[in-house]
Amino acid sequence: MRRIYLDNNATTPTLPEVFEAMRPYFVEQFGNASSIHHHGQETRAAVENARESVAGLLGATASEVVFTSGGTESDNLAIAGLVKAGNHVITSSIEHHAVLHACKHLEEIDCDLTVLPVDRRGLVDPDDVRRALRPHTRLISIMMANNETGVVQPVEDIGRIAAEARVLFHTDAVQSAGKIPIDVKRIGCHALSISGHKMHAPQGIGALYVRKGTKLEPLFHGGRHERSRRAGTENVPGIVALGKAADMAKAALDRSHNEKLVALRDKLERGILAQVEGTSVNGENAARVPNTTNIRFEGIEGESLVIALDLKGLAVSTGAACSSGAIEPSHVLIAMGLQPDQARSSIRFSLGKQTTEADIDFALALVPECVARLRELSPRYARAGSM
């Protein structure tokens, strides 16, 4: 059966070039990068090359890049590593749980937390950030692009507010890296998280940019790896892969290669809106990363549509999470003002570098048919339709 994957915000396939770059570091070049002999020097050089590449993607210098196990660790390292008991932290209601839950945990060490709302487009208002500042505010953590809607936040404005207030600023750029240009200096952030598997490197590798001179308390205690910011023997194959993926992402961004992705995403989005009645795009009127569209299908249970499409070979997702046996609507869509049943009827389509026009045509042939079938079975839609 033909299988088309439009769930690249969940994870991306490792690109063949990336896999080839990491391959020698499993068997032939296996040394511990901390060893002083030949084997160690060989892998140390590979790690430092990759650090340059990641720094190049972010507009940083190599010594500001700390390798981690992924986005969740980078977010936790930034938040726990920059905040002390008694501090105040500002975040937003649409953050990934890696940030939201890490911030909530701070309340247990007597920190105060402000969780800012977003408007209907899914945007944080920088003035809300300014108004939320308190004398003991230590950190602002607001994401660069949302994983469910792709909506890009005004991070440069927030960076300016943080600078004026002399407050630290962390941004979760896990869903931005490789999709839109990132320049840590323009953003004015002190810390920025990325994750390999969202940008065509493997799962289990990520990085945290930490601005030079920013004091970061490590999460792990152990050796002096990563300039004492992240103890533990480096994942050399993963790091090499992240470096290669960063080089490839930078080259594509420099060539505006992502325009192809925008064209494919827009074709999919417009095609669905034109062919299927009762549809709308969540976050439509805001700037979005090129690969994501989040579409609401009135009268449809999102999970049922995901399953129906999967049975026909198309992989997409809902932002919903299953908690204690019940399907919770997406906290992001609820924060944008959707009713729970509207949030539950929304589906995320996310494209990747491997996505072709034929994949989009496949999706456009399938989605209207599956939606129509589910609506025939849906008393909810029949009721709404007859009103």
Residues near ligand PLP (CB under 6 A): 70-72, 75, 96, 98, 143, 147, 172, 174-175, 195, 197, 206
Contact indicator for 26, 8 with CB cutoff of 8 Å: no
Our CB check for ligand PLP shows the closer of 67 and 381 to be 67
Q: How far is the CB of 77 from ligand PLP (least distance, A)?
A: 12
Find the residue with minimal CB distance to ligand PLP: 71
Integer Cα distance of 96 and 154 in angstroms: 17
Q: Is 16 exposed, middle or buried (0-12, 13-18, 19+ CB in 10 A)?
A: exposed
Please give the angle made by the CA atoms of 136, 129 and 160, to the nearest 5 degrees.
Answer: 90
Contact between 138 and 103 under an 8 Å Cβ cutoff? The reply is no
Smallest gap from residue 201 Cβ to ligand PLP (A)? 10
Output the six-digit token pair for 104: 């909530």
Q: Is 151 helix (H, G, I), strand (E, B) or coil?
A: strand
The two structure tokens encoding residue 102: 């890490």
Residue 70 CB, shortest distance to ligand PLP, in Å, is: 3
Q: Looking at beta carbons only, is 92 or 147 nearer to ligand PLP?
A: 147
Q: Residue 71 or residue 159: which is nearer to ligand PLP going by CB?
A: 71
The distance of closest approach from Cβ of residue 146 to ligand PLP in the complex, given in angstroms and rounded to an integer, is 7
DSSP per residue, 268-307: HHHHHHHHSSSEEETTTTS-B-TTEEEEEETT--HHHHHH
Contact between 210 and 64 (Cβ < 8 Å): yes
Active centre residues (catalytic): 322
Least Å distance, CB 203 to ligand PLP, is 7
Of residues 209 and 381, the one with the C-beta less far from ligand PLP: 209
| Nearest CB to ligand PLP, comparing residues 181 and 313 | 181
